[in-house]
């Protein structure tokens, strides 16, 4: 199966941390930029972060800059999202997907969507 499997979500208090994993199944991620997205109830999906095929460049939404860090291990066929200083507004289902090419600017189409992992930030 050509897809991602997201994991690592859970319930955390404001100010806490989580590390999400995005593991590729049935394909090699080396040649794709990979993005993290999130969708809260009643809201449209939004981009959170992206990392190029070799990890040489990254992008972040303004709302998460300084708090989230994206990384990848092509040897493990996995992309990570370290989330620190979590806020209630970060509550959403988090998904990962491949870009159309090697760079985050290849954003015309995203593919290989996983099932998502729930992140809930609440006291």
Question: What does the pLDDT read at residue 87?
Answer: 98
What pLDDT score was predicted for residue 70?
98
Where does the pLDDT of residue 2 fall: very low under 50, low under 70, confident under 90, or very high at 90 and above?
A: confident
Average pLDDT over residues 74-103: 97
Residue 33 C-beta-side C-alpha neighbours within 13 Å = 22
Distance separating alpha carbons of residues 50 and 59, to the nearest angstrom: 5
Of 97 and 26, more confident: 97
SS3 of 65-123: CCCEEEEEECCCCEEEEEECCCCHHHCEEEEEEECCCCCCCCCCCCECCCCCEEEEECC
pLDDT in tens, 9-42: 999 999 999 999 999 998 999 999 999 999 999 9
Local confidence band at 76 (pLDDT 50, 70, 90 cut-offs): very high
Reported as type and span, the H/E element at residue 19 is strand 18-25
Strands 46-51 and 117-121: unpaired
The pLDDT confidence band at residue 52, using thresholds 50, 70 and 90, is: very high
Nearest alpha carbon to residue 33 among 88, 82, 100: 100
Residue 1 confidence (pLDDT) above 90: no
């Amino acid at each position: 199966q050509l897809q991602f499997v997201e994991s690592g979500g859970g319930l955390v208090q404001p100010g806490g941390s989580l590390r999400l994993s995005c593991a590729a199944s049935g394909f090699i991620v080396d040649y794709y930029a990979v993005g993290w997205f999130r969708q809260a109830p009643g809201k449209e999906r939004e981009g959170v972060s992206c990392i190029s095929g070799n990890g040489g460049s990254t992008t972040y939404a303004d709302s998460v800059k300084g708090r989230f860090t994206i990384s990848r291990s092509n040897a493990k066929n996995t992309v990570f999202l370290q989330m620190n200083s979590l806020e209630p507004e970060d509550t959403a289902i988090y998904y990962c997907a491949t870009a159309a090419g090697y760079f985050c600017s290849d954003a015309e189409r995203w593919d290989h969507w996983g099932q998502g992992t729930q992140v809930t930030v609440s006291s």
